Structure 1
């Protein structure tokens, strides 16, 4: 069979449908006809698809004639449509996982072995899927191995030697999976429903107030280095996308990620000078010069190469470890206006975590005091997000704090100036509190901060 690249066919597992047995029989029959079709590789992908769809319909017509002969009830149109969709998913999509991705308003998909998956919806509710998407745990692993090999931007392994899989799916969703180190294979898929997003959309969604949105846009215009922080699933990536849309389209900038997630390069109106880069795991062979996996490209590697690509800014999807050092070096040496995200519970904690990550990347040759100064000089603002569940059960994601990184205090810690923050425990959303101490970058960029003196309520 042909590799599943850019819409070509693959012999994947058929999806669970209204009539599972029929879907599997139709799928098997179509695969047999494909194996016998000597000229199919000469067809265009569109013609090939039309031919296969005709075969699927022919198999359904054959099933209808069988049922008439046997005096059995005829298939209704809903069942026929589900069978066609299941076979299409098996041939062109992600097999039985595709049906989960097609569920409206799903945000997170959690799969444990051959159990029925659990879906978290955009409103925070949790649902159990109608049935499993794998016959056995081993079947789930096989599906993931095929997806890893054929449906990412580069081929990835999912094996006992490499038991963790992280990749972007063709629709932009993020897949993370584990095996061997867990009792049963587990999968989490995060759907990104807000990709083409701007700050005005963040206002509409209640993530920021109109006043705060204007200030954040001013930070980008004034080329301030921004660290977007928060706990998992609080909206860091979405806000980072919105901030990136404020960059002047005449600027050349880069997005660097372990797995593509920002997806700015996939937008129809993608910035013309943007380039996007993704890490590569490398092979099982070792480079004799470095001892690293051959072909490996880490975030640190990408950052160092980016310095030679004439970019004015860098956006790092998430800083976790060794890449913190080159990121801060870039921010301190000619790339103002860069941005990144980091997991942290507060703005102050974010700086501490960044310093810790930088120390790990720097090794023993750098002192705590030097790295602290590097962080204080490199980061201009920390934008902290929160994610909470309201009494109604609905999810709320919002900016709770915007802190200006001021200087290193006498005690060796980083001093911060809270520009936006909550005014009470009853409402944790960020409102304007103090003007930035360093207003020179705003003046030079033509950003008038006078609007901060106006009342700036939240829309929602």
Structure 2
């Protein structure tokens, strides 16, 4: 094991050198270091610092570090500056899907085949684990995010697009969970290839996006809602102005400049230590109404922002997309109603009328707990509001015996004319779809 105290000391020294170089460039009117140039400068500075440390040891008559230890320390310093410290080795493993850390020495990973196992510790102590998270919080997203006894929870996006959630103080040991996103740029062809949906479902959802219908993607935790949302967004033309609203930047649509050249990302902001400066999701959603958005995409609806989102969907932002946690497609209406009633004391009937006026389709995606496979199971079309039953919705795609969504032949699609106008052609004949094992 390498000396982490030494890593911290050299990390600070390298950081100081990078900052001095940036200041020098600013004072000379030259461009600051960025991207690969900054990384190369950091590599050179790290090498200088490690050599200087070895020379100091030699001058004191101590044994110098061997090349293998030098390399490990250099990589650790670089990871602390540009990556996620000793967590980076797990993030670099494409076969790892989720990482759960229950204290520094209990690290569990879930692989893409659904299997999980314990990995080596990523920190020498819980204090070092907290320090790692604090460092990540200082550089992730649009603003620094504190993680301390006054701010015991943290949500952020890591440089590779993974989502990190951390908790301290309210648990016996610090807890960290990381959800990997293996598909940063995803299209329906990718999801057809891995069995998430059929070509028929992909054709239908493509038409739904092009016809500018409002869609809510529902599913349980880790079911693949964000991945499906990215695939839907990939069908939006480059001429449209997108505004994404998230608690922690995760969707990454702005990074796909070719597909989404006019994209603005909005991210919530935590309060400062004095309790001021917080900007919550409802406020950001209200701001989108003044930002000339072609569409508003909400990464995840978790509470009081639901009413603002429904209002946004009915005030000119047709074609909006969002995700929500739910146990089934029809459970979405109850979940939204609960959020709205808890936050705004609205009656069930009022909320259901709002839902019926705002949401056009609900897409439910599920994950098999045994195999880990994710599949689109159900698509509901919202047909209106009924005082007796609440939100009226028809199941136009239902799960077959294997859980894959297939077209229900005897259920008409009320919006078929609009869908056909953008190129959708209903398939005739058998609704059975062949799926590879």
Q: Determine whether 1:295 maps to 2:268.
A: no
Q: 1:430 aligns with which of 392, 405, 409?
A: 405
Q: Is the 8 A contact 2:7 2:76 kept in 1?
A: no
CA distance in 1: counterparts of 2:348 and 2:10, whole angstroms: 66
CA distance in 1: counterparts of 2:82 and 2:217, whole angstroms: 37
How far 1:407 moved relative to its partner?
2.1
* Deviation readout 1:265-323 (Å, 9 max, x if unpaired): 122534112211111113243xxxxxxx5322211111111111111211111111111
Q: 1:352 aligns with which of 308, 331, 334?
A: 334
How far 1:60 moved relative to its partner?
9.5
* Deviation readout 1:188-211 (Å, 9 max, x if unpaired): 011211110011111011111011
Q: Determine whether 1:84 maps to 2:59.
A: no
Q: Which runs of 5+ in 2 are unaligned?
A: 26-32
Equivalence for 1:395: 372
Q: Secondary structure at 1:276's aligned position in 2?
A: strand
CA distance in 2: counterparts of 1:241 and 1:75, whole angstroms: 47
Q: Summarize the alignment of residues 259-408 of structure 1 with structure 2, pairs less than 5 Å apart.
A: 259-285=248-274, 293-363=275-345, 366-390=346-370, 394-408=371-385
Q: Secondary structure at 2:418's aligned position in 1?
A: helix
TM-score, normalised relative to structure 2: 0.87
Structure 1 stretch 108-117 or stretch 173-182: which is displaced more?
A: 108-117
Q: Determine whether 1:241 maps to 2:223.
A: no
CA gap 1:229/1:137 in 2 versus in 1, 3 angstroms: same
CA gap 1:37/1:331 in 2 versus in 1, 3 angstroms: closer
How far 1:421 moved relative to its partner?
0.7
Q: Determine whether 1:214 maps to 2:203.
A: yes
CA gap 1:300/1:80 in 2 versus in 1, 3 angstroms: same
Q: Secondary structure at 2:177's aligned position in 1?
A: strand
Equivalence for 1:128: 118
CA gap 1:440/1:357 in 2 versus in 1, 3 angstroms: farther
* Deviation readout 1:381-428 (Å, 9 max, x if unpaired): 1100110134xxx3100001011111223523222211111233xx11
* Deviation readout 1:306-352 (Å, 9 max, x if unpaired): 11111121111111111110111111222211111000011110111
Paired residues, number: 420
Q: Determine whether 1:105 maps to 2:82.
A: no
Q: Which runs of 5+ in 1 are unaligned?
A: 1-18, 286-292
Query: Please, what is the CA RMSD of the aligned residues?
Result: 3.0
Q: Secondary structure at 2:41's aligned position in 1?
A: helix
CA gap 1:97/1:37 in 2 versus in 1, 3 angstroms: closer
Q: Is the 8 A contact 2:213 2:320 kept in 1?
A: yes
Equivalence for 2:104: 114
Q: Secondary structure at 1:127's aligned position in 2?
A: strand
Q: Secondary structure at 2:302's aligned position in 1?
A: coil
Q: Is the 8 A contact 1:223 1:441 kept in 2?
A: no
Q: 2:151 aligns with which of 136, 157, 162?
A: 162
Q: Secondary structure at 2:383's aligned position in 1?
A: strand
Equivalence for 2:41: 48
* Deviation readout 1:160-206 (Å, 9 max, x if unpaired): 22211111122221111111111111000112111100111110111
TM-score, normalised relative to structure 1: 0.82
CA gap 1:242/1:354 in 2 versus in 1, 3 angstroms: same
CA gap 1:28/1:202 in 2 versus in 1, 3 angstroms: same
Q: Is the 8 A contact 1:403 1:417 kept in 2?
A: yes
